[in-house]
Amino acid sequence: MMAMPSNESIDVESIKKDFPIFKIRMAGKPLVYLDSAATSQKPQQVIDSIVKYYSEYNANIHRGIYEIAERATEEYTNSKAKLAKLIGAKGIENIVYVRNTTEAINLVAISWGNANVNKGDHILISDMEHHSNIVPWQLLERRKGAVLDYIKLDSGNERLDMESFKENLEKDPKIVAITHASNVLGTINDVKYITREAKKHGAVVLIDGAQSAPHMPVDVGSIGCDFFALSGHKMLGPTGIGALYGTEEILDSMEPLFGGGDMISAVTRQTYSWNSLPWKFEAGTSNIEGGIAFGAAIDYLNNVGMERIHRHEAELTRYALESLEGIKNIEVYGPKKEDIAVKSGVISFGIKGVHPHDVAQIFNSEGIAIRAGHHCAMPLVTEVLNKGAVSRMSFYLYNSREDIDKAVAAIGKVKKIFKIKE
Amino acid sequence: MDFYVEELIDNYEHPHNKGKLEHANAEFHGHNPVCGDDLTLYLDIEDGVVKDVKFDGDGCSISVASASMLTDAIKGKRIEDIEKMGFDDLKKIIGIDPGPVRLHCATLSLKALKGAVFLYEHKPMDAETKKL
């Protein structure tokens, strides 16, 4: 695919041709994929990069003094350089490859948390976090006798309540860990502001970028955070590869989570010395195919352009919110179309009188993939929104207005089956 | 959409035997984390026979309709027969095959029913019921 000039809108039809999954049919209908917040589809270029690695230069990375090992090492390392550039990190020393966002956050909670959080210390997260940015801190809280605090949402359950944020900052938390974009509400948080205020109170800041890095330009330098976590599989890459960004200063200060091969520079019977960053955090043979394919995914995203992807999704989200507005007996959660600047391409909704799983099942019968449940954000869904589950559609670069029209028609089918009045 | 049949939707919209049973002498609470279905089943057992049954709670169409039809079907049944009931019996009662994804929505009421019976008889839950 050729690089597109950044001011032009996305040609969805030509993008879709790169994604073989769209040749399949689901329930006998062409696939409409509205579940990219769970995982993205993969372009042929990414799939090919895995086949190419295994069929042309499969070898273990580092210290192999032969051509194909050198090539594997170079491709794997290049992938980190590409990611560093994509998110505005200085270099590969800032990029630790892990399995996913969850592992990245756990690495921080265990390695940094164990060394820096003590009894009575505060940890600050928010009411719109995914379980991956809650449970690691609950475990740390329990290990250390620390106190976990939550930033509340505003009265409309759309954004973080900045008063609640400031009140909690007065407790001088050791770490503030906040999602960049909510996987349920779609809210984009002002992480630059949050980081600046948290830093005034001496807190370390972690941003959960699982739902932002795939969809919008990210610049960790400008955000000013210490850590940024993301998942490759949500940004066109394969499963099993994700990254923890950390500043050199903080990564240098931390102990590795696992010991083994590749993470040391020397070992004697009595002692060891660590390898340089980022390798000291990557014990054992890495997910080489995952790293290489993630590099191919970043190439693809760069060719389209993150700014353009963001604009495309904002446009689709506005269209979807407008389409849903006219439908009776439907409830939409998160920021509304007036606040499109702080809304990512994630729309959670409920149809009165119908369970979200029934909604998803009927969508499936129309070939439309949406997700229903608590979306691994139970405190938000069950305690704040007070629902057992919600239905969610989420967009990416391969979605079009036509997909949203089909979703709206499927809502009509749900209402008909369940005899819900117009 | 083969399982959103009229009978299922009717049982979901207007469930039979819904509510708390005042004179219950056995009850069992069940939860299905997949859909968030939550259900308590109440039994009034007399001389080894189900005299009355009700269920209360919230859930998806499959779980509510299944509870509605199952509670209808077991009124007047002997509890030793309920002990032996399995998934195939449930399928006959609800008239659909819920498929693997919605399996536990459908079986929640049967699990609660058998759980209540075993509890009443001070017997441990058998392996087949645990799997439901």
Per-residue pLDDT, A23:
97
Mean pLDDT rounded to a whole number for chain A: 95
Question: For testing the chain A interface, which of B13, B32, B60, B102 should be mutated: the one with the most A CBs within 10 Å?
Answer: B60
Which residues, in sequence order, are CB contacts of A23 under 8 Å at separation 6+?
Answer: none
Residue A339, pLDDT above cutoff 90: yes
Annotation says A376 is catalytic: yes
pLDDT of residue A3: 58
Give me the residues of B, 6-45, that contact A with CB < 8 A: 9, 12-13, 34-38
Q: Which residues of A touch B13 (CB under 8 A)?
A: 418-419
Interface of A with B (CB under 8 A): 354-358, 361-362, 365, 372-374, 382, 388-389, 417-419
Q: Where are the beta strands (DSSP E) in A250-404?
A: 264-267, 272-274, 330-333, 346-351, 368-369, 371-373, 390-394
A129-172: per-residue pLDDT in tens? Answer: 999 999 999 999 999 999 999 999 999 999 999 999 999 999 99
Decide if pLDDT at B2 tops 70. Answer: no
Task: Report the pLDDT value the prediction gives residue A5, as an integer from 0 to 100.
Answer: 57
Three-state secondary structure call for residue A245: strand
Nearest Cβ partner for A358 among B38, B58, B60? B60
Query: Do A373 and B36 make contact, defined as CB atoms within 8 angstroms?
Result: yes
Q: Which residues from chain A sit within 8 angstroms of residue B102, using beta carbons?
A: 357, 361
- Res A113: pLDDT: 98
Locate tokens 């060394």: which residue?
Answer: A115
A41 pLDDT above the threshold of 80: yes
Q: What is the pLDDT of residue A262?
A: 83
Q: Say whether pLDDT at A118 is over 80.
A: yes
Closest-CA residue in chain B for A361? B1
The pLDDT value recorded for residue B32 is: 84
**Which chain A residues have a beta carbon less than 8 Å from that of B58?**
388
Say how many C-beta atoms besides its own lie within 10 A of residue A379's C-beta.
17
The length of chain B in residues reads 132
Percentages (nearest 5) of helix, strand, coil residues in chain B: 45, 20, 35
Contact B38 A355 (CB under 8 A): no
What are the pLDDT digits (tens) for A182-203?
Answer: 999 999 999 999 999 999 999 9
Of the candidates A83, A126, A4, A21, the one whose C-alpha atom is nearest the C-alpha of residue A290 is: A83
Pairwise CB contact (< 8 Å): A355 & B1: no
Q: What backbone phi and psi angles, to 5 degrees, belong to A96?
A: -100, 125
Which residues of chain B make contact with A354, given a CB cutoff of 8 A? 61
Between positions 46 and 65 of B, the ones with CB within 8 A of A are 58-62
pLDDT tier, B132 (very low <50, low <70, confident <90, very high otherwise): confident
Ordered structural domains, chain A, with CATH: 12-39+305-417 (3.90.1150.10), 49-303 (3.40.640.10)
The H or E element that residue A193 is part of is: helix A191-200
Q: What's the burial of A353, exposed, middle or buried (CB within 10 Å: 0-12/13-18/19+)?
A: middle
Q: Is the pLDDT of residue B3 over 80?
A: no
pLDDT band for position B128 (50/70/90)?
confident
Catalytic residue among A104, A198, A301, A376: A376
pLDDT over threshold 70, residue A64: yes
Of all residues in chain B, the one with the smallest CA distance to A359 is B60
CA distances from B88 to B75, B77, B106, B107, B125 (A): 19, 17, 12, 10, 18
Q: What is the pLDDT of residue A62?
A: 87
Please give the model's pTM, rounded to 2 decimal places: 0.93
Q: What percent of chain B has pLDDT over 70?
A: 98
Architecture of domain B6-121 in CATH?
Answer: Alpha-Beta Complex (3.90)
pLDDT of res. B5: 86
A289 vs A259 pLDDT, higher one:
A289
